[in-house]
Structure 1
Amino acid sequence: MEISVGKASGGRLRISSRMTPGRMIIPVAGEVDHTTAPQLRAALLPALTSGARQVELDFTQVSFCDCSGLNTLLDAYHHARQTGVCFGVSGPLTPAVARLFALAEVESVLATPPRSWPWPRQAR
């Protein structure tokens, strides 16, 4: 699955996904802000209900994320916790995204743990 949002010349946000047994990886590229966060939310909801036990959002190519994007991630995290799905954001994160996570003090909540992810993910 691939979704492009924004201008026809590549869009401001690109979202794709790939499924492996029990795990969905969702690479995201571009900017996650008030105009693109709804599309990210729309991509996350099916992923969280796909039957995958792990959902990893790869933010390596996300250059910017604002409060709207952060709220989308936190909503997805809480939905995942309620349904027993392990959810996290992987990187390395760009400095702008890492700074937002640090200022909001969510890096330990949203960071993707190593491959030995516990089932279900432990509350922090």
Structure 2
Amino acid sequence: MTYVRRMSEIALLDKFVAWVKELAEKARSASLSVNFEICPPTLNPAAKVDFESSEILARITFWGDGSFHAEAIDPGTSTTILSRHGQALTNRAFSEDFRDVLNLVAINSPSRDP
């Protein structure tokens, strides 16, 4: 049973990685930097995406078990704009889970999630 759960966690993380790569290609501009990284291996693998502009710094960290942390700050004042933990639902698009972050960094999500 643990093996099955582990495989499903990897599949969910792979789905997130594919979505972020598509999102990063769409979002690249002179005013917004998008950086993606697979985190060092742990028992619960993770990936993160950072969005950076003069107006906002935002990060989504996503773990293989579907949990995530989304955060955004105003770099000029260091004020936290958003800090949210959650659990991604497998039947819902990532663009729905992270709509608040995407709106803050003014990105339209890919039309369909992988």
TM-score (norm 2): 0.30
Larger-Rg structure: 2
TM-score (norm 1): 0.28
